[in-house]
Each structure stands twice: as C-alpha cells, then as structure tokens.
Amino acid sequence: MLSDRGDRAILAGRILRIAVLAILGVFLARLVYLQVIRGAEYLQRSETQAIKQRAKIPSRGCMYDRNGRMIVRNDPAFSITMTPHDADTTTFPLLAKLLHIPLAQLKALYRQSLSYRFQEVPILRDAPLPIVAAIEEHAAALPGIEIRTEVKRRYLLTAHASHLFGYRAMVDERDLATKGDYYTLNDYIGKTGLEAAYEPFLRGRKGVQFVAVNAAGQPIERFNNGRSDIEAIEGADLYLGIDALLQEVAEQQMGNDHGAIVVLDPRNGEVRAFVSKPDYDLHPLETPSAGEYFAQLSRDPNKPLFNRAMQTIYPPGSTWKMLMALAALHEGLIDEHTTIHCPGSFTYGGRSFKCHGAHGTVDVRRAIQVSCNVFFYRLGQRIGIDNLYKYGTMFGFGQLTGIDIAGERAGLLPSRQWFERRGVTGSLLDGRMVNLGIGQGEIGVTPLQMAVYVSALANGGTLYQPHVVSGIYNKETGRLEKVAYGSIKLPLNPRFVRIVQEGMYAVCNIPGGTATNVRVEGVAVCGKTGTAQNPHGKDHSWFICYAPAEQPTIAMCVMVENAGFGATRAAPIARAILDAYFHPERYRDSTATAPMAVARSAAPTHRAAQ
C-alpha cells in the first residue's frame, strides 16, 4: 500500500514537472516570437507616440488653349518643411549647413512660425536633388523636418502671358485671415490673373494621410495601412479661348514698347489674346528665389507688374468717334446725309481747336474715314453731356466689363453731376464737350473696354461679357463643363450701326482713310485709328478693328503708350495679328522675325494724325 502511494507521488511529480516545462516552453516560444520574430515591429510601436494627420496636396489644374494645346502644366518638385512644435533647435546648425542657408535666417523663420507651431512651414521650395538626398540621409537627426512632394508651374508658350495667367505665391497671414480654413503656411495660392480668379477650381481638394509618429515627431508607419486615408481630388483643368499663335505674335509685335493688346471673338466675347507690356517671366516665381525676383519686379520703374490691358486709363482719342456718331444718329441730331464743313479748325470761346486737315464738307461716313475733328467737335456740343453719358454707359464705359481676370478697373465716364461737383457748368461744360466729342479730356478707358466696344460695333450691337475660360474639366466627375457668361443686346438701330460700320470700312479700304496700311490678303478689315493727347510726353497710339467686314470673327484693340499717331504704330501691330489669324500657315515655323518686319514696314510714310 505504501508502495502504491509512493508510485502515485512519483507520477504526480513527473506530471507536474512536465506541465511546468510545457508552460515554460510556451512562454519561451512566445518570448522568442516577440523578441526575435516581431521585435522590430513592436519596438517601433512602443516608440510611436501619436497619430498625425498629413495633408495630401492635390495636383493643380492645367490650362489648355482653344485648340486643346496644353499651355500650363505641372512639374514635380520637392520642398523641405519644418513643424516648429517638433523641431529641435540644437539641430539647426546642421540643417542650415545642409540647406546652404544662413543659420540666422533659419532661426528667424522658426521664431516667425511659432504662432503656427503645429503646421508644416516651408523652409526651402523646389529643393535641388542633392539637398533632398542630404536631408533624407540625416533624417533621424532632424526631428520635425520633412521632405514633401509638390508641383511647380511650367509655362509652355514662347510668349510670357504673365498678366493673363497671373502668378502663385506662398500663403501669407492675410490669406490665412481671409481665405478660410483650407490653407496653411505650406500652401500656394493664386495671387493675380487666372491663377487668382479660378483658385477654387485650380487648387482641387486636399486629402488626408494618417501616419504614426515617434516622440521626435518623425513618421514611423502609415496608420491602419492607409485604409483610413482620404484621397486628394486633383484641381480642375481650364480650357481657354486663347489662341497660342495670336498671343505669341501679339507679344512679339509689341516688342519693348509699353502698352496693351486685347483680341476678342465678337461672336461670344472669348479672349483670343491678352497682352500687357512690359511683362515678365513667370518661371522665376516658381523657384526658391521668388521673393527676390518679385522685389526686383516691384522696384522696376517700368512697372511690369501693372496690367495695362485693364488697369491703364487713358482718353480713347478718335476711336471714340463711332460712339458719338451713334449717339447723334439715334437722338435725331444728324442723319446719314447731314454734312458739316471742315475748314481745318473750329473756334469756340476764343480758342481755336485744330483738325489735322481741311476736309471740306463731310458727312458722318466720311468724317469717320478721315477722322475729321471739326465734324465731331460740333457733334459733341450738339450731343451734350447727358447723351454722352447715356451712350457711353450703354457700351459699358465707366464700368467693369466682368472679365474673368482679377484686378480690372472701371475707368472714368464723366456725368453732368461729376462735372458739377468740380464746378464745371454752363458754358464751361459746353466747352468741355468740344474735346469730349473727339475722345479727349476727362474720359478714361481701358484697352479691354475698347475691345468690348469694337466687338459690339462688329456684331451689330451685342455687348458680350469678355472671358478667357470657356470650359472647366472636373476631374472628379470626368466632365467638361461649359462656363456661361452674360450678354446684352443694345437698343441700337441696325441701320445706324451699318452707317458706322461703313465708315470704319472706309478707314482701311478707301483712299483717304487713316489706316489704309491695314490690309490683309483676301480679307476686308474695318477699323479706326486714335491718338490720345498726353500732356506729359508723346501721344498714345490707339487702333481698334474687326474682320472680316461681313460676319466678323475677330476684333481687337491695340494701345501703345507714347508712340504717336494711331496709324504709325498701333495699326501695323493689328495688321500683323490679323495676318497671323487669317494666314496661320505663314507663322508655323517662326513667330519671331517675319511678323515684326511686316508690322514695321507697313507703317505709312505720311503723317496721319488719327
């Protein structure tokens, strides 16, 4: 019996030992699994302190011309950013050395960014690849410093088109205060031109990436293997009415002169070319030296940042005469057979107002053709300030055209009340109407307004809202959405409009016209020259036109500052642009030398004052 008890005790001991060894084996196996097989993973998890949201920046929308040619695209770029909360200032000497920037500059940026200490702040945009590689190599020693992938704009035209496209710049504190919660200091935003006007479409919608970070704020791994991420939506593409060839030719024609060119389709208001000179190269504004380059542009006495196409305000000169003719015809002050004698000058209030020739007896068509000042001096007094304001307002002067480019000015169309506030009444105002009748004096217009005006003359009296963008391609829906714009049918008698059109035809096609040098093979051009008096220097040169005479498809305004008579500088520029439009095959190989020669050689040798 004792033997049986002993055997059972021995058996129980053996079972206990086996159980203990089994348990120890399980623990040992688990330890090996945790320490050896999964050790690195769990070490990383133990070091992870938080889940951080990182913005996924969408690709900005591209731009295409009217023929589907890409003219603005994105190229990849890298930026080096800092999150001030996570940055270690003791690493700044190393960081400054790697970035090739002064340590003081880095410290100043850090101090300025403390108000946004949880946001990524850019230190270096468009970083060169050697710098990117150096930062990546020292990543473990640079907490709070990251490499981000972004895009930079690439402009594919040989033309600058800087005032058309506009430029982007980094978000500043004013943008953060006024543009809502979408932006951070690490973002770009459109500042001028199409980049600003269509910013909500071009920018797309940011996504979110969730990453686990360690105590130093450095990314360790994607949270939930990226399944919780929110994808970014790329910016919409813009389809423009711009004709790349016309834009390039127009810029080349302007050369080094100061001025503007606006080319429209009179059938719908689409902008075919938009030039302001002097202009500037947009590419440096997409580089690390953007701030220095912008400061240089701001200091330039030629003011290349100023958009002369829609911010310059000058008297329109004789290009205003068609409006005066329409006002007089509609108000019954003249008819198509009314004549006025031009002896070469007009005297009022003891002052002699000169004409550039003695034209004899002229009717309204002939007065437009030869640009007779005396005819329109007298007409201005008959029309009066109220009718001038009525018809000027009808054609959109003194108002914004509504173009889809940021920064337009309304110009000046004086009313009776405007003059009264300045003490100009009675005979004084009658005297002012002499000058206003030929587009001089207090009237101030922009080249854009003049392009809209001549387009309405071309199409028979419809005022179309000028616009650059014809369609927006939504990448989320995969649809190209047409953009709707306004138009106004002016209350004009078609017969009176036709009389004015015939006068404009005579300007370019009948001997004695002031712009018979503006002829294009196989095309009848209608136009009007103008010379705006400039008390501070040489007069400004204007020319407005459309073509063909019947069913026109192109209209434009050319304004060249301090270039003298409209026929000698602005008109030849328009001729070259029309030639490129109607005969593009001549410009396929080069748009640099031949067109300029055409414009210069086409200038008349005689002095045509208007």
Domains of the chain: 52-215+224-240 (3.90.1310.10), 244-291+307-601 (3.40.710.10)
When mean pLDDT is compared across 388-397, 550-559, 599-608, the lowest value belongs to: 599-608
User: What count of other Cβ atoms lies within 10 Å of the Cβ of residue 489?
Assistant: 11
Q: Where are the beta strands (DSSP E) in 25-124?
A: 48-56, 63-64, 70-82, 121-124
| Dihedrals phi, psi of 487, to nearest 5 degrees | -150, 155
Q: What angle do CA 437, 338, 526 make, to 5 degrees?
A: 65
pLDDT score of 260: 97
Overall average pLDDT of the 346-364 stretch: 92
Confidence band (pLDDT; 50, 70, 90) for 597?
A: very low
Which DSSP letter does residue 103 get? Answer: H
When mean pLDDT is compared across 129-138, 176-185, 306-315, 327-336, the lowest value belongs to: 176-185
DSSP string, 162-213: HHHH--EEE--HHHHHHS-SS--TT-EEE-SHHHHHTHHHHT-B-EEEEEEE
Q: What angle do CA 419, 424, 425 make, to 5 degrees?
A: 100
* Mean pLDDT (the chain, rounded): 88
Alpha carbon distance 451, 456 (integer Å): 9
pLDDT score of 184: 80
Alpha carbon distance 511, 520 (integer Å): 16
pLDDT score of 52: 67
When mean pLDDT is compared across 14-23, 138-147, 387-396, the lowest value belongs to: 14-23
Overall average pLDDT of the 329-358 stretch: 93
pLDDT at 596 over 50: no
What pTM was estimated for this model as a whole? 0.83
pLDDT at 43 over 60: no
Whether residue 52 contacts residue 216, with contact meaning beta carbons closer than 8 Å, is answered with no
DSSP string, 367-413: HHHHT-HHHHHHHHHHHHHHHHHHHHHHTTTTS----SSBT----B-
Q: What angle do CA 77, 80, 86 make, to 5 degrees?
A: 150
Q: What is the pLDDT of residues 499-537, one digit of tens each?
A: 999 999 999 999 999 999 999 999 999 999 999 888 777
pLDDT score of 21: 73
Residue type, 282: L
Higher pLDDT, 282 or 45: 282
Overall average pLDDT of the 413-418 stretch: 97
pLDDT score of 34: 59
Query: Omega of the bond prior to 466 within 30 degrees of 0, cis?
Result: no
Whether residue 567 contacts residue 604, with contact meaning beta carbons closer than 8 Å, is answered with yes
Q: What is the pLDDT of residues 142-196, one digit of tens each?
A: 988 888 888 899 999 999 999 999 999 988 888 888 887 788 877 889 999 999 9
Alpha carbon distance 384, 590 (integer Å): 50
Q: Percent of the chain at pLDDT above 90? A: 64
pLDDT at 209 over 80: no
Q: Percent of the chain at pLDDT above 70? A: 86
When mean pLDDT is compared across 77-81, 323-327, 364-368, 527-531, the lowest value belongs to: 77-81
Alpha carbon distance 342, 2 (integer Å): 152
pLDDT at 63 over 50: yes
pLDDT at 305 over 70: yes
Confidence band (pLDDT; 50, 70, 90) for 330?
A: very high
pLDDT at 600 over 70: no
Overall average pLDDT of the 567-587 stretch: 93
Alpha carbon distance 375, 382 (integer Å): 11
pLDDT at 484 over 80: yes
Burial class (CB in 10 A: 0-12, 13-18, 19+), 116: middle
Overall average pLDDT of the 403-421 stretch: 95
Query: Omega of the bond prior to 548 within 30 degrees of 0, cis?
Result: yes
Q: What is the pLDDT of residues 358-380, one digit of tens each?
A: 999 999 999 999 999 999 999 99
Q: What is the pLDDT of residues 210-221, one digit of tens each?
A: 777 666 556 666
Overall average pLDDT of the 331-337 stretch: 97
CA distances from 543 to 122, 281, 583 (A): 48, 27, 21
